[in-house]
Structure 1
Amino acid sequence: MSEKPEDPAEERHASWLELFFDLVAVAGVGQLAHLVHGSTSWADVGLYVVCFLAFWTAWMCFTVYGNVVGGAAKTMPVLAAMAGLVVMAASVAGIHGDHAKVFAIAYIAVRVLSDRVWEHRKDGVRVLVDWPVAHMGFGVTPWIVSIWTPDSWRYWLWALGVLVDLVITFTFSGKRLTENVTAKLASRRGPAVQATAARLDTAHFGERLGLFTIIVLGEGVLTVTDAMAETPKWDRPLYWTALAALGLLATLWGAALREGSGGIPYLAADRLKPRLLLPLHCLVAGLLAAFAGGLGDAIESVGHEHIETSTRWLLAGCVAALAVIGALCGLKSGRRAWWAAVVLVPGLVLPAVVGFFGGSFTPVRVLWLLVLAAGAGLGGWFFARRITARGEAGRGVRPV
């Protein structure tokens, strides 16, 4: 069963099947954020990174499938993958125990299924040259081995599997992948099956990546809401802290979606190839999800009048990392060097102040400093637009 084929003349948007599939991202991001919510362990941070990469990769395997085949996407495999991702998300709460095996098995099942959906009886096998990881590869092998290994080795094997996928992403050529698949098909018995190269629909793909980023930012809003609801005493510091948290999320939304592309801060459309765009999107989404967990801790810290050191560094580190990514992507997109400096200087200095000297700062002061750090790029953009508008007005040109 598949959706009704689309009219190629119409502008393409996410289908109902794709939007329904994205609901698993809501569940997954919410569960994964809990790994760093209230945690003071670097081991938990490392486990969060590995689990987020695995969940994002499994989600992306079917996102790129829907992007390439469009309305011809097979409904049942997508729904089956959705079930697997739900199991992965539900397993996160017990990831330190027996549920770790369930997480690994569900991940393996989704990856195996993602490899099979590219086969079609009439069209042969499509090979996604823009992102070879969509086809099951060596990166799944450590996950399979981890099912029978002791707990102390399991997470290291997961990390190895994720690392292998990253290496494949940057080093394995689409031409070589197509040749390998063609040779594999030639060795099969039965009727000959052709392998054809497939490319991503970049315009539609940017929308899909942006939707995932919206979901991650929505988790931040939900975290702030839950933290407020669980706070017994509502007073002025709580209101101002919550307002600062929402201001931070709005600022990050402006940088990643209003002034960015595909959920990447300040990136113009079609400036990066998919093999670089996808890992970068994963990095940004992971930072935003971790940041969402830290915001909940910040709201809960209002009564203590200070934020725990680990949470403070988590928030500051995420803002600083996003500032670096935004500045580099802005330069790649043709923005001026002075604008990149406007992003980087406060985007690095203010988080450093928060991290090193913010132990005595109240939560509201910490968050408002981070608002200034995260919003510097938007301020520079607004200033540049005003200067341009004044110049055009001086020449008698009406602003658009």
Structure 2
Amino acid sequence: MAEGAGTGKRVTWVELYFDLIFVFAVGQSAHIMVADPDWSGFGRALGLFMPLWWAWIGFVILYNRHGDDRATQRLFMLAGTLPCAVAAVETHAAADGHATAFILALAGIRLVLAVGFLVIVGRSSWVALGYGLSTVAFAVSAVVPGPWRIALWVFALLQEAAHLLLRDDDRGRRRGGSTRTVRGPSAGTDGEVAGGPAGVTAGRPARERPARRSRAAAVRARFRRPVDPARRVDAAHLAERFGLMMIILLGEVVIAVGEPAAEAAEHDAHYWLGLLSGLVLASALWWLYFTAAAPINEAVLRASGGHPAMAYGLYAGGHLSSAFALITMAAGVSLALSGEEEPTGAAWLLTIGLAVYLEGTRGLTTWRSSRPGRVLHTVVIGGTVCLALLRPLISTLGVLLVATAWAITLAAYVSWRAPERLRQVNDGPRAFLHSSAARD
């Protein structure tokens, strides 16, 4: 494995405190889906979750690359909890169309990040500029109509990701990528053009542009250590930070089980089936992530030398779907165990969330090594979603029981294959990643 993937720093207490405030904010997304368990509620929850997620990523990278847990850094982290808490309180108002305070809180989070990267890092002016642009974009979006607001949000989030992690990859391509000469159609076989020397087209020099890289070359580029040590990502810290976040989000599923159970008037069969199945589902979800996905992600990132683009693919962007899937399942579990009339959307929240979580944690990618395996993978993911179609035949609690049994089955499969996959990663992470990309 490559050296220099990080010092193996540990997550600090102030980061854990910040994560608690953040989860309070994103946890409100589940309440939006509980209050409105249809596609509109799902869409609003996802739209509000996205800018919160990327705000959290900014603080993660700030501490991952540059955090020494000094007093100044702690103050910036604590300052970030204030607008984050305001965003949490205003989430429901934003979902109902009164989003001004929520949007200004998002702008405030970006402002803290912009100043933080300038003060703590100093030389990360491009990252600070990116968050400065996001601050302006979110602030302006508070006073413009809906379509323009969405466009500004998309612009802000895309350029945040580009400045924070992906810009390193682009610079590496410009420095080390291959080039090719583009000549005019009248060039001869010896490279000359009528009326000019070789490499000149119609009196103009030939243009040099990067050649299109193969998939193998793209994988090799992600295992090329960043030249600047300050740009490297600490693999151990990132794995621990995201693992802790997944634990906290799994806690949302446990809370979704416990709250309806605590309010139940009778401890009948419905009560015990709902309580036990919800807790077993949360355990199966934990197993799916921490048995294979977590150690594999850390091993691959460490082998890349802490490459920022690899960190983006595995964690910043790669965990987004899994994190929101846990919130979606928490909403579905809460509705299934509420004791009230169960809306049909509750079953879909359960099964869609489970399918997205399975895909996001990449626990089933070993099936993609062959054409039959890829078909089987598609059938399993699609079949997981379609478990909701059992709803007319059984109750939402019944769908929860079936989904829990299915999650246990897949967790057993992942547990069986995990040692082999980990051995493949440790023997040759670059080949492992290239084969996974080829399967996709």
TM-score by length of 2: 0.69
SS of structure 1 residue aligned to 2:123: strand
* Residues 160-309 of structure 1 mapped to structure 2, 5 A cutoff: 161-162=156-157, 165=160, 172-174=167-169, 176=171, 197-261=230-294, 267=297, 269-270=299-300, 273-277=310-314, 278-301=316-339, 304=341, 307-309=342-344
Deviations 1:208-256 (A, max 9, x none): 0111111111011112111112232321122112211111111111111
Shift of 1:99: 5.0
331, 350, 356: which is aligned to 1:315?
A: 350
Q: Is the 8 A contact 2:86 2:102 kept in 1?
A: yes
For residues 64 and 419 of structure 2, what CA distance do their matches in structure 1 show? 38
Aligned to 1:146: 141
Shift of 1:46: 1.5
SS of structure 1 residue aligned to 2:99: helix
Q: Greater relative contact order: 1 or 2 (C-alpha under 8 angstroms, separation 6 or more)?
A: 2
Does residue 45 of structure 1 match 2:42? yes
For residues 385 and 66 of structure 1, what CA distance do their matches in structure 2 show? 31
Max radius of gyration: which structure?
2
For residues 363 and 161 of structure 2, what CA distance do their matches in structure 1 show? 21
Shift of 1:291: 1.1
For residues 334 and 294 of structure 2, what CA distance do their matches in structure 1 show? 27
SS of structure 1 residue aligned to 2:413: helix
Shift of 1:330: 4.0
For residues 253 and 355 of structure 1, what CA distance do their matches in structure 2 show? 22
For residues 46 and 300 of structure 1, what CA distance do their matches in structure 2 show? 22
Aligned to 2:198: none
SS of structure 1 residue aligned to 2:337: helix
Shift of 1:369: 1.2
Q: 1:281 to 1:327 in 2, by over 3 A?
A: closer
Q: 1:120 to 1:157 in 2, by over 3 A?
A: closer
Uncovered stretches (5+) of structure 1, i.e. residues with no partner = 1-8, 180-194, 388-400
Deviations 1:90-133 (A, max 9, x none): 11121145751111111111112212212248x731368xxx69
121, 124, 132: which is aligned to 2:122?
A: 124
Shift of 1:56: 1.2
State the AA in 2 paired with 1:269. Answer: A
State the AA in 1 paired with 2:332. Answer: G
Q: 1:348 to 1:101 in 2, by over 3 A?
A: same
Does residue 55 of structure 1 match 2:52? yes
Aligned to 1:87: 86
Deviations 1:145-164 (A, max 9, x none): 22112467645643554455
Q: Is the 8 A contact 1:291 1:315 kept in 2?
A: yes
For residues 204 and 64 of structure 1, what CA distance do their matches in structure 2 show? 10
Q: Is the 8 A contact 1:323 1:343 kept in 2?
A: no
Shift of 1:341: 7.8
State the AA in 2 paired with 1:319. Answer: L
State the AA in 2 paired with 1:274. Answer: A
Deviations 1:288-338 (A, max 9, x none): 11211111001014x65xx42211111111112222334477449x99999
SS of structure 1 residue aligned to 2:319: helix
State the AA in 1 paired with 2:239. Answer: G
369, 383, 395: which is aligned to 2:402?
A: 369
For residues 335 and 216 of structure 1, what CA distance do their matches in structure 2 show? 31
For residues 279 and 34 of structure 2, what CA distance do their matches in structure 1 show? 17
SS of structure 2 residue aligned to 1:106: helix
For residues 18 and 115 of structure 1, what CA distance do their matches in structure 2 show? 18
State the AA in 2 paired with 1:243. Answer: L
For residues 290 and 419 of structure 2, what CA distance do their matches in structure 1 show? 21
Shift of 1:201: 0.5
Q: Is the 8 A contact 2:256 2:334 kept in 1?
A: yes
Uncovered stretches (5+) of structure 2, i.e. residues with no partner = 1-5, 175-227, 302-308, 421-440
Which sits farther off after the overlay, 151-160 or 250-259?
151-160
Q: Is the 8 A contact 1:85 1:107 kept in 2?
A: yes
Q: 1:133 to 1:350 in 2, by over 3 A?
A: farther
Aligned to 1:19: 16
SS of structure 1 residue aligned to 2:67: helix
SS of structure 2 residue aligned to 1:360: coil
Q: Is the 8 A contact 2:22 2:81 kept in 1?
A: no
Q: 1:323 to 1:340 in 2, by over 3 A?
A: farther
Q: 1:234 to 1:159 in 2, by over 3 A?
A: farther
Aligned length: 353
Q: Is the 8 A contact 1:87 1:103 kept in 2?
A: yes
Q: 1:249 to 1:343 in 2, by over 3 A?
A: farther
Q: Is the 8 A contact 1:224 1:295 kept in 2?
A: yes
For residues 31 and 245 of structure 2, what CA distance do their matches in structure 1 show? 18
Which sits farther off after the overlay, 252-261 or 317-326?
317-326
Which sits farther off after the overlay, 239-248 or 112-121?
112-121
Deviations 1:262-291 (A, max 9, x none): 8xxx75632581121211111110111121
For residues 344 and 385 of structure 1, what CA distance do their matches in structure 2 show? 20
